[in-house]
Chains A and B, each alone.
Chain A
Amino acid sequence: MAAQEKVVYMDNNATTQVAPEVVTAMMPFLIESYGNPSSMHTFGGQVGMAIKEAREKVAALLGAEQGEITFTSCGTESDSTAILSAVRTFPEKRHLVTTRVEHPAVKNLCENLETITGHKYRVTRLKVDGEGMLDIAEYEAALTDDTAIVSIMWANNETGVIFPVEEMARMAKQRGILFHTDAVQAVGKIPIDLKSLDIDFLSLSGHKLHAPKGVGVLYIKRGTLFVPFLNGGHQEHGRRGGTENVASIVALGRACELAQEKMVEENSRVKKLRDKLEEGLLATIPKSMLNGHKTERLPNTANISFEYVEGEAILLYMNQHKICASSGSACTSGSLEPSHVLRAMGVPFTAAHGSIRFSLSVYNTEEEVDFVIEKMPAIIESLRKLSPFWKG
């Protein structure tokens, strides 16, 4: 095989390439426009204007008002801020509702709330079925007068499965319960219009939509009671202390603008590429299967299990061809158990250890998809030849 130069990047749910347009937009704020937006002088003040513009662009992508956008350092900070704010707002309420398949940012925060407080807090973790879908009846039954907040991800990072957060937020609202959604994987990939919804808090992360790492947003619906997580200066309307990460905020604004422009492409061309990849792999590789609901899913994500082989080994063989993806296997995480998401779905061990997540972006091409479809069967076959369980 001729040495292949180019990286085939299909790990966009982990992080994304910073769009060239985004780099261009942020550069001036790393070089000449270094003023502090809180300063009285024009030199700083003009930087404040840039932040305002970025805020408007983020708000436009989400169908929100610019006053509802608070910049943070990452998705995790946004999640923590929202959930802890609700807990502090309603100190007498000691119950939270979430799911078994949340990102660690929410999952571990909820666990900590239980353990650090000596189980003064009770957490209901909703089950998912074999396709990764929630049971709305179970959700409805879980809501109580004691529930401080519901935190349910919009789309799952591992499988791409989309949850009906619009409906669930409405149900929470009827019960007077705050609703938070970790939309880190959904924003930029599917249309979101918050003004028509009952979502109180929404988290997003810049580096998942072609902005740099180290910037996020917490959407706080107008009128929602709020207690800051980071106390300090008056930045972000007093909702988040700390001097603004100006260049990254400007970058995120531009990235949201681009996401808006490319939303149709994401849901047509990228989706087609994903479908081609998925169908190609499932058709050519025996004992392979899709994890997650076939249609209620982000347009860019395909999580496929290859039975009787282990994910880390697959990834490192793929790495030889410079193909980048992720796995839900135990070995890749550094823990000893496979992905909590796949286990919650009841994916059998034979398949959970051999799961590979391909996540595409607008930068992927058909040639790349063809290349992966061409290389994967031999990779899986060579590892199965090593496997004591494979009787092929």
Chain B
Amino acid sequence: MWEYTDKVQQHFLTPQNVGEIEKPSGTGDVGSLACGDALKLTLKIDGNDIITDAKFKTFGCASAIASSSVLTEMVKGMSVNEAAKITNEDIALALGGLPKEKMHCSVMGREALEAAIADYRGLKLPMAEGEVVCECFGVTDLEIIRAINESSLRSVEEITNFTKAGGGCGKCEDKLRKILQETVSGKSEFTIPQAKPKRMTSLQKIKKIEEVLEREIRPGLKKDGGDIELIDVDGDFVIVSLRGACKSCAKSQTTIKEYVEKKLRELVFESLIVEEEN
């Protein structure tokens, strides 16, 4: 029997905000029946970017239902930017903690929120574009790397607890260990100040991003006759525009994801998502 906190019990036995918003401003649909848990989150967002309503439908265990329920309570009244900063740790904390084997339920909450915000903003989520590492649960390397960074994971078992990756046939265990080693050692190479990245203000983010673009990214692009311009920073989303030769380059998406985003994640904050201006 799991040791669930009173808060988990409360949200599980009397879940709040169950249902689906009609004509939602944003929808986040994550998980699947095969995986054993799934969450559909719908948000109503007003003209001032304030989340006025949130509803959920969840298939899953007590902690999945409780995570969804508490998440809807958390985001109501928040601005979209504020909501975008919510991490899975925040969700778990709001429940007074979750058993470690159940942390993936809080990750599912964060993923659904992220997907709903991306949907509202008309953006695509980058996580789905990573390479699938765990075939059983369809978990990509980007999701795994992010969980390692966000929750300071230090073992394959922890990766499984947080992302489910490796929890099925277990064949990807070696890959997970490799990703873990690379991610953790990569961190020590760049001595990022241990200040909580999520606490950065938008201004700090913009400054830092400009700095990195100028120092690390532009020189490379310019060599090929291209350039890059920062358009906007909105929570985790960094909107950029490619210029010159890059603009018409067929590989512009690869440039953005593999080069720009990777670099910015390393040097600015780990959860950022780079998107090209429409």
Contact = CB atoms under 8 A, between A and B. Distances in A.
A47 B64 CA distance: 54
Contacts of B15: 386
13 contacts: A308-B33, A310-B59, A310-B64, A316-B12, A331-B61, A332-B61, A336-B136, A337-B168, A349-B34, A386-B15, A388-B39, A388-B58, A389-B33
B59 A329 contact: no
B61 A387 contact: no
Given A310-B59, A336-B36, A386-B59, 15 more contacts: A308-B33, A310-B37, A313-B60, A313-B61, A332-B61, A336-B137, A336-B167, A337-B36, A338-B36, A349-B34, A349-B36, A353-B36, A386-B57, A386-B65, A389-B38
Most A CB within 10 A of own CB, among B29, B40, B58, B102: B58
A107 B126 CA distance: 41
A385 interface: yes
B70 to A, nearest CB: 14
A330 B102 CA distance: 11
Interface string B18-29: 100000000001
B167 A386 contact: no
A317 B61 CA distance: 11
**Residue in A316, A317, A320, A336 with the greatest tally of chain B CB atoms within 10 Å:** A336
B59 A388 contact: yes
Interface string B169-210: 000000000000000000000000000000000000000000
B164 interface: yes
A349 B35 CA distance: 8
Contacts of A389: 33, 38, 59
A392 interface: no
A336 B160 contact: yes
Interface string B215-256: 000000000000000000000000000000000000000000
A223 interface: no
B246 to A, nearest CB: 41
Interface string A311-348: 11100110010000000011110111110000000000
Of the four ranges (under 10, 10 to 19, 20 to 34, 35 or more), the interface on chain A belongs to 20 to 34
B58 to A, nearest CB: 6
Given A386-B15, A386-B18, A386-B65, A330 B36 contact: yes
Contacts of B64: 310
B62 interface: yes
Nearest to B18: A386
A214 to B, nearest CB: 20
A350 interface: yes
Contacts of A313: 12, 60-62, 65
B34 A331 contact: no
A316 B3 CA distance: 12
Contact of B58 (A332, A350, A353, A387): A387
